[in-house]
Amino acid sequence: MEVVWKMRVTTKENGTYVLQIEDWSKNYPGTFPFGNTLAAYPVSKVNIEGAFSPKCGDIFRCEFNFPNHELALDAAETIAFRDGELSWYTQYLRKREYLPCITGKLE
């Protein structure tokens, strides 16, 4: 895996965290397009059951898999420079069970 874009961002919804675009295409050719994964490391707003699941107040990794690099980059730049939020992109969230960690809303 190669990090192709990385930045520390601050948003209203999730505070300050690391946001990066990752390229998994060399590790998994034919599975991932170049640079389509947006990874964020915010603080979880809730507890998720399970030994390795995010806990409230802990930094966790959430991964958004976009159809291509251009959409991942647009999302990253929107979050970093145009007051965007992770919750705007939850349709791309790989682990849907982590949605409450981002939004704070248990469903």
Q: Taking the CA atoms of 70, 72, 76 and 79 in sequence, report the sign of the dihedral they define.
A: positive
The tens digit of pLDDT for each residue in 48-60 reads 999 999 999 999 9
> The pTM is what?
0.94
Q: 30-33: long-range contacts at Cβ-Cβ below 8 A with a sequence spacing of 24 or more?
A: 32/65, 33/67, 33/68, 33/69
Q: Which pLDDT band holds residue 7 (cuts at 50, 70, 90)?
A: very high
Break the chain into its structural domains and give their ranges. Answer: 2-103
Give the burial class of 28: count Cβ atoms within 10 A of its Cβ; 0-12 exposed, 13-18 middle, 19 or more buried. Answer: exposed
Average the pLDDT over 74-86 and give the result.
97
